[in-house]
């Protein structure tokens, strides 16, 4: 009952990616967790082998593939259990801003590097005082001759330390309406006035660098304005859609991977002479979690069908994002119970999942924001 | 029944004041990061009588009950879940000695624990899964007036720092059922033949070290037997029933610690032109959390009160531990949710409390184990 039509080419791509992961990701994951960052060389290897930016058109150096290739990358990268090399964030969340809204000049300048991994990207929306309430951002962008001058602070920026290019949302202080005041800007590494703040310590996702970014009289040329002036908020909201699809792909994959791990563990762990999997409560727990995972998988694949066909699937995306991230969290928590003492050790793979997943009901829009949008879709 | 005595309120206040004066956020951050025990705070806590408060005065204790221990656990963990947890478990498994040990063993070791000279540990588990084992490999053989102990114990709390271990050993290999041949033996950690391997970092509870402890031809005098030969398994169950009440107090305090911080946050944080506390969804989350905390408190206090009144009830202990630990996980989950991105950041502490809560939930058995105990007690033997 396959919903998605993966072609032979898709399947071969997945196999090549799996082999890349075996060679380049899994042997290094623990070190990256300790280092709290992934080296640039790993990004470049991934780019060289064709696993970054699958959907970037050929004319800009990309492979020009469909979004299902992106879905395969997010799915398989999640299954590694290491969150640091955020290919999905780069390829499917940030780079699409340039593809969709960039000028011809911007596309030619930046996209080829994004595809090879020489340019790692980030998007800076959140501020210390503006989380879910994106429109209340305070960062300003004022035009001065041929330049734009940026001032403000962004926080919780994934890839904040490693990024070479960051798409920044800031508002024109002279425009009163807070939605139409926002524009997007491309800021490159090394621009005077652009500083990276603390490498933030987190509960999980240790191999991924999250940082504050500071802009003080940061001058960029007007040619670095991305898309139409004043359309920043609309562009953000439009691209948040795919961000949430990517989030759902990851949390469904995470749930499937944890379930697989738990089934294996329960079959092979003997307690008082019997495998754990022979206990009725364990069987029922795994049966329930498998049911919910499958329901989320079917829902997601159906959503992906609509998303790749360009249909309007806003409410479905919110449903999938929130339901699967909540499930993945519940599952990590519950499976730790079955793992018992072993689950407590950092050496147990579930421990890391438990820590890493906690942010998934918060980032890319909290569960509460998802429910708010779903309610709006029902005209409530 | 629904009010603490004046003395209990005094202890509660003293514990609160001590935690407020001594526990420090920066120190907690460093100790957790480096996997270190809060030695200085522990020594002060012992000086003031907070460690082993339920020991008799003859053993440097406070001659108090479990309820007083719960009140201390609650206040300590409310101020800091990790420092609190480490202090509460400074006397880990000492209750085995307290309830079953000879006068000689008690007068030698209990004062050292209460006075903050040594930590204690229980070496019970042998598998990766937990402590509900009826068949164990660790053996103790009699050799004139000594025991010779051989075996490996896993997940030994305080394992790398304890002054002694209460070791569950098979003293009669022919016993049927096997658990009738188990006994508890006190093994000082400086005996020849003990090797220790730390398990490394855990999800939480990182101010205590957990270790695998191997005993190879370790000799201790026969008087180190704790309680009766062949009664080790039963004594362990009795100890676990008691310790679950303390764990419930720890979980209760951890919940309150997160709840306090969350309340400050939602009253201060503004989004969409309103304080978070002004959104109905936040308000209902708060109502749910407060209700669950109240339930956890009632059942924990009742379990402690029952034990103090000579009615230690396995079922009630398990209910209290299960409820309080689950409450801590639920309160933790929602607290982080309300904090948003900040909740995931180490600097804001609640993520550490949440991780500590999960360790409490798994200690002495996850929910499933507690439900086995509760239902076993309720259903009894079916003919």
Residues B315-358: pLDDT tens digits? Answer: 999 999 999 999 999 999 999 999 999 999 999 999 999 999 99
Average pLDDT, chain B: 96
Contacts of B210 in chain A (CB under 8 A): 344
Contacts of A130 in chain B (CB under 8 A): 271
ipTM of the complex: 0.95
Whether B134 and A269 lie within 8 Å, measured CB to CB: no
Q: pLDDT tens digits for B10-42?
A: 999 999 999 999 999 999 999 999 999 999 999
Whether A346 and B201 lie within 8 Å, measured CB to CB: yes
Chain B residue at shortest CA distance from A368 = B281
Q: Which of residues 26-85 of B touch A (CB under 8 A)?
A: none
Contacts of B337 in chain A (CB under 8 A): 361-362, 366-368
Whether B135 and A272 lie within 8 Å, measured CB to CB: yes
Q: pLDDT tens digits for B44-78?
A: 999 999 999 999 999 999 999 999 999 999 999 99
Is B1 a residue whose pLDDT tops 70?
Answer: no
User: Looking at residue A23, what DSSP letter applies?
Assistant: I
Q: Which of A126, A341, A359 comes nearest B128 by C-beta?
A: A341
Q: Which of B270, B346, B366 comes nearest A337 by C-beta?
A: B366
Q: Which of B202, B345, B366 comes nearest A340 by C-beta?
A: B366
* pLDDT-derived band at B383, boundaries 50, 70, 90: confident
Taking the C-alpha atoms of residue B368 and residue A302, their distance in angstroms, rounded to an integer, is: 36
Q: pLDDT tens digits for A163-204?
A: 999 999 999 999 999 999 999 999 999 999 999 998 999 999
> Residues of CATH 2.40.110.10 domain(s) within chain B?
120-230
Is A302 a residue whose pLDDT tops 80?
Answer: yes
- Give the other-Cβ count within 10 Å of A142's Cβ: 15
* pLDDT-derived band at A342, boundaries 50, 70, 90: confident
**Superfamily for B120-230?**
Butyryl-CoA Dehydrogenase, subunit A, domain 2 (2.40.110.10)
Phi then psi dihedrals of residue B345, to 5 deg: -90, 135
Active-site amino acid positions of A: 243
Q: Up-side HSE of residue A244: CA atoms within 13 Å toward CB?
A: 29
* C-alpha dihedral sign at A34, A35, A41, A43: positive
Whether B271 and A132 lie within 8 Å, measured CB to CB: yes
User: Which pLDDT does position A131 carry in this prediction?
Assistant: 87
Q: Which of B128, B155, B200 comes nearest A346 by C-beta?
A: B200
Percentage of chain A modeled with pLDDT above 90: 93
Whether B129 and A341 lie within 8 Å, measured CB to CB: yes
CATH code of the domain made up of B6-114? 1.10.540.10
Task: Tell whether B340 is within 8 A of chain A (Cβ).
Answer: yes
Extract the runs of DSSP E, i.e. beta strands, from chain A. 121-124, 140-144, 147-158, 165-171, 182-188, 194-199, 210-221, 225-226, 270-271, 274-275
Average pLDDT, chain A: 96
Cβ atoms B353, B262 nearer than 8 A: no
Percentage of chain B modeled with pLDDT above 90: 96
pTM: 0.96
Taking the C-alpha atoms of residue B125 and residue A9, their distance in angstroms, rounded to an integer, is: 51
User: Looking at residue B196, what DSSP letter applies?
Assistant: E
Whether A203 and B272 lie within 8 Å, measured CB to CB: no
> Residues of CATH 1.20.140.10 domain(s) within chain B?
234-379
> Residues of CATH 1.10.540.10 domain(s) within chain B?
6-114
Contacts of A335 in chain B (CB under 8 A): none
* C-alpha dihedral sign at B70, B75, B76, B80: positive
Contacts of B130 in chain A (CB under 8 A): 271, 340-341
* pLDDT-derived band at B2, boundaries 50, 70, 90: confident
* pLDDT-derived band at A1, boundaries 50, 70, 90: low
Is B131 a residue whose pLDDT tops 60?
Answer: no
Distances (CA, A) of B154 to B86, B118, B183, B204: 19, 21, 17, 17
The CATH topology of domain B234-379 is: Butyryl-CoA Dehydrogenase, subunit A; domain 3 (1.20.140)
User: Which pLDDT does position B130 carry in this prediction?
Assistant: 62
User: Which pLDDT does position A337 carry in this prediction?
Assistant: 95
Whether A344 and B132 lie within 8 Å, measured CB to CB: no
Is B139 a residue whose pLDDT tops 60?
Answer: yes
Q: pLDDT tens digits for A16-70?
A: 999 999 999 999 999 999 999 999 999 999 999 999 999 999 999 999 999 999 9
């Amino acid at each position: 009952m396959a919903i998605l039509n993966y072609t032979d080419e898709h399947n071969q791509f997945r196999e090549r990616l799996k082999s890349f992961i075996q060679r380049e990701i899994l042997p290094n994951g623990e070190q990256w967790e300790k280092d709290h960052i992934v080296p640039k060389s790993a990004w470049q290897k991934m780019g060289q082998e064709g696993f970054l930016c699958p959907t970037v058109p050929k004319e800009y150096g990309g492979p020009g593939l469909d979004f299902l290739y992106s879905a395969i990358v997010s799915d398989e990268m999640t299954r590694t259990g290491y969150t640091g090399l955020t290919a999905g964030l780069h390829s499917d969340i940030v780079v699409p801003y340039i593809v969709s809204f960039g000028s011809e000049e911007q596309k030619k300048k930046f996209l080829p590097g994004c595809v090879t991994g020489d340019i790692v990207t980030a998007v800076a929306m959140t501020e210390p005082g503006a989380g879910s309430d994106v429109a209340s951002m305070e960062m300003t962008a004022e035009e001065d001759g041929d330049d734009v001058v940026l001032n403000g602070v962004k926080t919780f920026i994934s890839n904040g330390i490693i990024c070479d290019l960051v798409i920044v949302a800031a508002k024109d202080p002279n425009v009163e309406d807070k939605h139409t005041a926002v524009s997007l800007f491309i800021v490159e590494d090394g621009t005077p006035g652009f500083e990276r703040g603390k490498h933030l310590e987190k509960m999980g996702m240790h191999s991924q660098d999250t940082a504050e970014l500071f802009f003080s009289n940061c001058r960029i040329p007007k040619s670095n304005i991305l898309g139409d002036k004043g359309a920043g908020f609309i562009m953000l909201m439009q691209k948040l859609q795919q961000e949430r699809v990517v989030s759902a792909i990851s949390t469904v994959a995470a749930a499937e991977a944890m379930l697989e791990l738990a089934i294996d563990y329960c079959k092979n762990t003997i307690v008082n002479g019997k495998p754990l999997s022979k206990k009725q409560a364990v069987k029922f727990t795994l049966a329930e979690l498998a049911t919910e995972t499958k329901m989320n998988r079917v829902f997601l694949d159906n959503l992906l069908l609509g998303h790749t066909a360009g249909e309007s699937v806003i409410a479905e995306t919110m449903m999938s994002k929130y339901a699967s991230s909540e499930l993945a969290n519940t599952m990590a928590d519950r499976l730790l119970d079955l793992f018992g003492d072993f689950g407590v050790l950092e050496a147990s793979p579930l421990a890391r999942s438990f820590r890493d997943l906690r942010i998934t009901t918060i980032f890319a829009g909290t569960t509460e924001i998802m429910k708010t949008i779903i309610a709006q879709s029902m005209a409530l | 029944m629904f009010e603490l005595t004046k003395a209990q309120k005094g202890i509660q206040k003293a514990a609160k004041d001590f935690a407020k004066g001594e526990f420090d956020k920066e120190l907690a951050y460093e100790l957790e990061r480096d996997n270190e025990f809060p030695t200085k705070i522990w020594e002060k806590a012992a000086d003031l009588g907070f460690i082993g408060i339920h020991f008799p005065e003859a053993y440097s204790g406070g001659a108090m009950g479990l309820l007083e221990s719960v009140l201390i656990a609650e206040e300590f963990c409310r101020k800091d879940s990790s420092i609190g947890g480490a202090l509460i478990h400074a006397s880990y498994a000492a209750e085995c000695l307290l309830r079953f040990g000879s006068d000689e063993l008690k007068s030698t070791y209990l004062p050292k624990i209460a006075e903050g000279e040594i930590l204690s540990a229980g070496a019970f588990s042998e598998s990766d899964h937990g402590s509900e084992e009826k068949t164990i490999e660790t053996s103790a053989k009699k050799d004139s007036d000594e025991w010779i102990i051989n075996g490996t114990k896993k997940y030994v709390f305080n394992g790398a720092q304890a002054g002694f271990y209460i070791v569950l050993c098979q003293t009669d290999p022919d016993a049927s059922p096997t658990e009738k041949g188990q006994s508890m033996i006190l093994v000082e950690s400086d005996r020849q033949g003990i090797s220790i391997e730390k398990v490394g970092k855990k999800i939480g509870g990182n101010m205590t070290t957990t270790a695998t402890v191997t005993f190879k031809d370790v000799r201790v005098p026969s008087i180190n037997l704790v309680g009766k030969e062949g009664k080790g398994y039963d004594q362990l169950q009795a100890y676990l029933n008691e310790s679950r009440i303390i764990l419930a107090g720890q979980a209760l305090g951890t919940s309150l610690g997160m709840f306090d911080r969350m309340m400050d946050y939602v009253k201060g944080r503004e989004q969409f032109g309103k304080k978070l506390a002004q959104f109905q969804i936040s308000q209902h989350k708060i109502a749910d959390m407060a209700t669950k905390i109240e339930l956890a408190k009632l059942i924990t206090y009742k379990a402690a009160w029952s034990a103090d009144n000579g009615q230690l009830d396995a079922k009630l202990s398990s209910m209290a531990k299960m409820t309080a630990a689950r409450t801590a996980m639920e309160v933790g989950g929602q607290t982080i949710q309300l904090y948003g991105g900040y909740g995931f950041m180490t600097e804001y502490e609640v993520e550490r409390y949440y991780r500590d809560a999960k360790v409490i939930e798994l200690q002495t058995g996850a929910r499933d184990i507690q439900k086995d105990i509760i239902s076993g007690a309720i259903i009894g033997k079916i003919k």
